[in-house]
Structure formats: structure tokens, C-alpha cells
A and B are shown apart, each in its own frame.
Chain A
Amino acid sequence: MSENHAPPDLTLKPLPNAALKSEKQGDVSFEITEAGNGDLRVAINDRMDHKTSAFLIKSLCPEIRRRSPKNLTLVLDHLTYFDDYGALVINELQQVLNQNKGAFKIDDPLRMTDNILSFVDLKDFERTGSSKPGDHWVEHIGQGALDYLKAIRTMVSFVGSVFLSFMHAAIHSKSLRFGDILVEMEKTGVNALPIVSLISFLLGLVMAFMSSLQLKQFGANIYVASLVALAMVSELGPIMTAIVVAGRSGSAFAAEIGTMKIYEEVDALSTMGFDPVLFLAVPRMIASMVVVPLLTIFSGVFGILGGLSVGVSMLDLTASSYLSQSLDILSLFEISWSLTKSIVFAAIISWVGCLRGFQAKGGADAVGNAATSAVVTSIFLIILSDSFFAILRSYLW
């Protein structure tokens, strides 16, 4: 302060504690200094919290490991905040020192660390994570096979409980919830009508157009009508409708029942004396088996209309000749065959949807998996059973 005061002579004193390394980032800084005999002092200043711990661990540990001191003193006299993330840093440093057979000391005049370190001993948590059981591939295969067998068992037993519930409902018709059936019919049938009609119309249109390219060459335009009518009514109509319903309603059944399952609502129903299958699955199955055949009829009609629009606009056919050709080819057998198939498809879709819902367990992802698996399984079973129908038919004719 005063002019005549001699300035301190820095050059005469050698700096015993020249910093070997010092860094600062965010709310923390550290300094490593030599303390003679290969010992180190590490001073950490300001905050040791979750924001600074990663920086401290990443820059201090390699440094200490490289120098492998015999003794290390951690100086914390300028610390302002310390929590268990600070304890984590200390633990990591300690581990490094233990590996190098060095001794570790904490110099904490402010006693910032006492409360935390007496409460928390991170040594107990050092062990590497116990691997989950079933990590070996043999166990995986075995577990997978067991799960598969179990899944088949539940599928079969679910067929049984659905059958019993249906019998029960047939005898005690009061136990059937007609209100629920109506609601499900609206959701599965009425609400699906626009999309089923549109898809069928476009399908009929495309089919008529593609077949006309071939049939025109023989002057057999009128057979476009037979082809579209036959294909739509006996094959594509039932299949398309079933696939749309599986995507819309099969997944919804699985998600609804799956959610009820994981929130223990299904268990609540059983404890109140309801049979969950009768309460939840039967109304959905009945509703589907009623509305899917109706949707299939609409699908056939709209498919034929799609074909008709191509026939009239591009193939010089009159509407009446197109329609009469279509009706000629459709026998009663054809139509009832188509409806039979669609009832079976409806049973498959609703059965699989409900089954997957009841199988759900775990968290929110279980519901998503149930919905996905309901759609995939029912589409597969629809195509499979359709092939059986085709074989059966070849024997009937």
C-alpha cells in the first residue's frame, strides 16, 4: 500500500508447490501439487456435485494413475458444496490409489464432507453389477422353449374358457351384457364401414381394370363382371374385411383388456364374482361375429360397384348387363360360403385379441406388445384358415 514498503521478493523463494496440473470447469477447479517423496496433494475448490463430478473423475483419475503417488492428500479447504456425487469422486480416487498401493488422506478443515461420508460409504457399492439371471444363451433357448409351450397351453385353455363362457351365456342369457355387445358392434362394425367400403371399392376397381387388359384381347369384356364378383365375394371380400377388422378392433381388444389386466381391473372383476372371460371376451366375440359378416356383404357390394364403374366407363358395358352377369355367377352357395368364412375369421380375430389382452403382464409396453401380437397372430390365422377353406371346398365340389 505505502510506496516505500519493499515489495515481497518472490524470486528468492523457490515455489515448493508448483502446480503440476490445474484446471477449472464450470463451478469447480482443482490443482495437483507435488508434496515431496513422490507424494501428491490434490486441492478441489468450490462445488462437488453432479454437474462437476464427471469432469473431476475424468481429469483426475488418469492423472493420478499415471503418477501413482505413495501418498495422496485431498485438500478441501475451499469447498462450498459437497454431496454424494462428491463422495463418488473421492471413492473413485481412492480406488485408483488402492490399485497402486498408495495411501489416501482427506484434509477437510471445514468439515464439509463429514455428514455425507459418514452416511454414505460407496465402497459397499463398488462390485460390478450382478448380471441378470438367464444371460447365458443356453438358458435363453430353454426359457424361450418353455415360454412357447406355456403360450400354447394358455391358448388352448383360453379356447376352453371361451367355450364354457359361451355355454354359460347360452343357458343364463341374463348374465350376458347386451349393452356391451351393442357398443362393441358399433365400434367394430359401424365405425369400420367407411374404410371397408372404400378399400373394397378401390379393390374392385383395380381388379376390373387389370383383368380387362387381358380379357379385352379376346373380346371377353363381359367376363370382367364375373371375375370381379366371384373374386370379391368368395375370396377378397372376406379376407380384406377380416384384415381391416383385425387391424382396427383386434388390436383395440388386446389393448383394452391388456390395460385392464396390468392395472388389476381384471382381478377386481374376478373378486366381484364376474367371470372375466364372460364379462370382457364374450361380448366382443359375439359383436364381431355378428358385424363382420355384415361388413363382408358391404365389401362384396362395394367391390362389385368398383368393377361396375370401370366396366361402364371404360369397357362399353351397360350397368344392367354388368349387374346381371355378376348376379348370374353368384350362387347361394357362394354367398353362404363367404359368410361362413367371415364368421370364422371374426371368431379368430376377437378370440386372439382377447387372448393377447389377458396374456399381457408388466408395464405399458406389455399393452403395446399385446396389440401388435394380436394383429400379427390374427392375420396369420386368417390366411391359414382361408387355405383350409380352399382345400375343404375342393372336396365339396
Chain B
Amino acid sequence: MVGNPMAPEPIIRVTNFTARYGENIILKDISFEVSPGEVFIILGGSGCGKSTLLRHLIGLNRPFAGTIRVDGIDISSCGDNAFQDFLKNIGVLFQSSALIGAMTLGENIALPILEYTSLPQNAVDKMVRLKLHMVDLDGYENRLPSELSGGMKKRAGLARAIALNPKILFLDEPSAGLDPITSAEIDELVLHINRNMNTTIVIVTHDLDSIFRIGQRAIMLDKETRGIIAEGRPTDLKTNSSHPMVRKFFNSRPTAEPESFIPSSDHDI
């Protein structure tokens, strides 16, 4: 891909990136690229630094070393104004949903819409209801986050992330805590957004079904090596990877034979 003259300029380019908390190095010297309009998946075991990587990609943490360019802006060193522009083009779903607890779902979703557009109130209400409808939460606009289940919070967080149809969407485990049917619907929604608005989507997920359903390219992080141990199309990773960790990850669920049953778990790789 890299070096191909036909390939479009990558929208995210991470070069020789190192992340650490205090003395604790989480990721070391990793590089990868994401093309515009791609559904890009970040895989890896629990605690290997996926959320950490995501926090760096959205500029919440500054890299210890290396550069991160997103949408033409070097977010590791840019000034405040450029960073504000960058923020307008991204939507983020946090692992913990991060809805504002003192506001109803409707107010949570209206927050970015009111901030960045000057639409009349009834139009904002309409958009809020539309976004809630997209994540299958019709009629929940007056509920407080504390009155929702974990999966519903996740979906409301997703609705807030897509409120302004961002250019790049970052999702941290969107289907964790969701039943397979809702999870498939969320995948559908993500694909719809990706196809029709040409949104680049970066997803951290453990959900094997969803990886194959929507993932176009994936990287797998590893806790031991603190780097990328595999990169490529999900189907290729599943069938062709020689790395034992990768094979274990993709085959960690019951196959057709009942006797080879291994309990599948999000964090069990």
C-alpha cells in the first residue's frame, strides 16, 4: 500500500510513535496508516494499550515520541487553533460512553449540534430524535444516563459521536455490552455512515463477528512486544497469520465441533 502512487494520501499517519504513562512504556515505536474512507480496526488483548492509542489519536494525550498526523494536522505538535479545527472533524465514542450525567440523552446529543450550528430549536430536536433513532433509542430523549443500561449508554454515546457526521469516527468497543442483534445493527449503522458519508472509521473491538462484518483492515497490538504484531485484512489475518497470538485470537471461539468448545470471552485471547 505504502508507495503505491494510486493510493490516496492517508488520513491518519502514525510514525515511530511511543506512548508511556510515567515510567511505564505501553506502546513502543509503532507506525501505521489509515486511508480515507476506510474501516480500520485496532485489535489486541485487554490492557495492551488500545484505548491508550486511541486517546493519542484524538489528541487527549501527547505522544512521548514520534508523530501523529490526522487529516493533515500534526496533532502531536500543532497549536491550539489547528487543534480546535481538528476536533470539529472527529467524533469519539469512549469506552465508558462518557455521557454527561447531569443532562438528559437529548441534551447530550444536542450539545455538539447547538455548539457548532445555529439551527433553530425545532430542527435541533428533529436531528436529536433522528440520531437516537439511528441507534435504536427512540423516545429516550428525556431519560438521564443513570437510568439506562450499559448497552443503551453505549448507543447513546455513539449517537452523540455521530451528531455532526464527523469526517473521522473513533469508536472504543462500540459493541461491548450489546446483544448480538443490536451489535449487528450498530455494525450496519457504522457501514451506512462509512459508505454514504465516506467517513473514516477507527474501531477498537474484540467482537469477532463485527471485525469480519465491517473491518477492511486491522492491526493487532501486543502487550509483550508493545507493538504491532499483525496488520492486514481480517480474513487474511485469520487464515494466513503465522503469529500464534493472532491465531489464538481469531480461533478463540467455539467451532462447529462441540467437543472443541472453548468459552469465548472478550478479554480471553
Contacts and interface: CB of A to CB of B under 8 A. Distances in A.
Interface stretch (A50-58, A201-209, A217-225, A275-283): A50-58
A77 interface: no
B165 A50 contact: yes
B231 interface: no
B130 to A, nearest CB: 5
A86 to B, nearest CB: 10
A364 interface: yes
A158 interface: no
Interface in A19-34: none
Nearest to A84: B130
Given A125-B130, A362-B146, A119 B192 contact: yes
A80 to B, nearest CB: 11
Interface string A332-371: 0000000000000000000000000000011111100000
Contacts of B120: 54, 57-58
A363 B100 contact: yes
B196 A119 contact: yes
Contact of B123 (A49, A51, A88, A365): A88
A61 to B, nearest CB: 9
Contact of B165 (A85, A92, A119, A126): A85
A273 interface: no
A115 B191 CA distance: 12
Contacts of A366: 101
A365 B144 CA distance: 12
Interface string A177-205: 00000000000000000000000000000
Contacts of B101: 262, 362-366
A348 to B, nearest CB: 29
A164 interface: no
A262 B133 CA distance: 28
B133 A125 contact: yes
A88 B127 contact: yes
Interface residues of A, number: 32
A88 B126 contact: yes
Nearest to B99: A363
B88 to A, nearest CB: 9
Interface in B100-151: 100-102, 106, 113, 116-120, 122-123, 125-127, 129-130, 133, 139, 141-142, 144-146
A54 B117 CA distance: 7
Interface stretch (A127-135, A308-316, A375-383): A127-135
Contacts of B102: 362-365
27 contacts: A49-B165, A50-B113, A51-B116, A51-B117, A53-B123, A54-B117, A54-B118, A84-B127, A85-B127, A88-B127, A91-B126, A92-B123, A115-B195, A119-B192, A125-B125, A125-B126, A125-B129, A125-B133, A129-B125, A129-B141, A132-B142, A362-B146, A363-B101, A363-B145, A363-B146, A364-B102, A366-B101
Q: Which A-B residue pairs are the 10 nearest by beta carbons?
A: A363-B101, A125-B129, A365-B102, A54-B118, A115-B196, A54-B119, A83-B165, A125-B126, A362-B146, A50-B164
Given A50-B113, A91-B126, 8 more contacts: A50-B117, A50-B164, A57-B120, A83-B197, A128-B125, A130-B139, A363-B100, A364-B102
Interface of B: 100-102, 106, 113, 116-120, 122-123, 125-127, 129-130, 133, 139, 141-142, 144-146, 164-165, 192, 195-197
